[in-house]
């Protein structure tokens, strides 16, 4: 299974430890395209290449993914954009929102019945939600 | 001209005064669907209805818009989502980013050649960028 994992980087930056735990768990199901995401979230000032290269790489990965798993506890233009594109392309999308988030989840995500939106309290709950979702996703 | 104006609400909340100035300027070009946006950004705890109603209303407006103008200085899942959908639907999209923003703009926006991304220092520059864009947009 090819998985596109999306999380806030420049929009606030997912906690690197949470990011790595989610990423490692997803790896148990197949190839995760966006393995660099935890490093970028931990080092916003690093040299990650020109934005058009990042865009071209990520959009190709998104196109070829079987499923999308998005951490949506923090606001993010990139994650929202990727969810919108992936929905148009008919991909199954799991959105994970931590109930401890300081931000209320966008109505465009929370009110959208085309997405699977699940809320978790601690990380172990998030991992179970991933299991439930990926066990029922093709291929 | 039917204009969909998108800005961060729950993701951080665009400054209400900036929001109103942009909105008033856009009104000079036609109907702006999302007139409520400044009120919502100013009152995040207000009762704006269930999320699925907000989603259904906004997605219908987005579908019927001729152009999209998005303020992207703050991170926002909703704004990112709307840009992704509108791009898929072939709509002209202007993204306005304030150079005073505390956040670096997402590579999925800044590196995307399908969007018109423009940077402004003060509000008067943003209004000129809107004029330049809308004068060349159909209908």
β A31-32/B116-120 pair status: unpaired
Q: Nearest 5°: CA angle at A10, between A5 and A14?
A: 55
Measure the CA–CA gap between B112 and B129, rounded to whole angstroms. 18
| pLDDT band, residue B134 (cuts 50/70/90) | very high
Measure the CA–CA gap between A41 and A19, rounded to whole angstroms. 9
What mean pLDDT do residues B74-90 have? 97
What mean pLDDT do residues A88-111 have? 96
Of the candidates B10, B11, B111, the beta carbon closest to that of A55 is on B111
Question: Is the CB of residue A2 less than 8 Å away from at least one CB of chain B?
Answer: no
Residues of chain A with Cβ-Cβ distance to B113 below 8 Å are 52
| pLDDT band, residue B108 (cuts 50/70/90) | very high
**Percentage of chain A lying above the pLDDT 90 cut:** 76
Question: Is the CB of residue B10 less than 8 Å away from at least one CB of chain A?
Answer: yes
What mean pLDDT do residues A88-108 have? 95
Top-confidence residue, A44 or B91: B91
User: Quick check: A15 pLDDT over 90?
Assistant: no
B contact test, residue of A81, A110, A119 with most B CBs within 10 A: A81
The complex's ipTM works out to: 0.95
A58/B108 CB distance under 8 A: yes
Of the candidates A11, A51, A59, the beta carbon closest to that of B110 is on A51
Measure the CA–CA gap between B41 and B44, rounded to whole angstroms. 6
**H-type helices in chain B, by residue range?**
16-27, 37-42, 51-64, 77-88, 107-110, 123-134
What mean pLDDT do residues B103-117 have? 96
User: Quick check: B56 pLDDT over 80?
Assistant: yes
Size of interface A-B (CB pairs under 8 A): 153
**Cis geometry, peptide bond prior to residue A139 (ω within 30 degrees of 0):** yes
What is the reported pLDDT for B11? 65
User: Quick check: B139 pLDDT over 80?
Assistant: no
Residues of chain A with Cβ-Cβ distance to B114 below 8 Å are none
Which helix (H) or strand (E) is A125 found in, with range? helix A123-134
Question: Is the CB of residue B111 less than 8 Å away from at least one CB of chain A?
Answer: yes
B72/A74 CB distance under 8 A: no
| pLDDT band, residue B59 (cuts 50/70/90) | very high
| pLDDT band, residue B137 (cuts 50/70/90) | confident
Of the candidates B12, B81, B111, the beta carbon closest to that of A108 is on B81
A88/B84 CB distance under 8 A: yes
SS3 A66: coil
| pLDDT band, residue B68 (cuts 50/70/90) | very high
Residues of chain A with Cβ-Cβ distance to B50 below 8 Å are 111
Closest CA of chain A from B132, distance in Å: 24
Which helix (H) or strand (E) is A61 found in, with range? helix A51-64
């Amino acid at each position: 299974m090819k998985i596109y994992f999306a999380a806030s980087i420049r929009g606030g930056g997912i906690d690197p430890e949470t990011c790595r735990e989610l990423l490692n768990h997803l790896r148990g199901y197949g190839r995760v395209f966006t393995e660099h995401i935890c490093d970028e979230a931990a080092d916003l000032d690093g040299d990650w290449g020109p934005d058009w290269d990042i865009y071209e790489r990520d959009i190709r990965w998104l196109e070829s993914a079987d499923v999308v798993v998005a951490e949506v506890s923090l606001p993010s233009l990139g994650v929202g954009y990727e969810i919108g594109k992936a929905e148009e392309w008919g991909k199954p999308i799991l959105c994970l929102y931590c109930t401890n988030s300081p931000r209320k989840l966008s109505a465009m995500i929370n009110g959208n019945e085309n997405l699977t939106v699940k809320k978790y309290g601690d990380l172990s709950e998030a991992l179970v939600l991933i299991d439930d979702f990926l066990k029922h996703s093709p291929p």
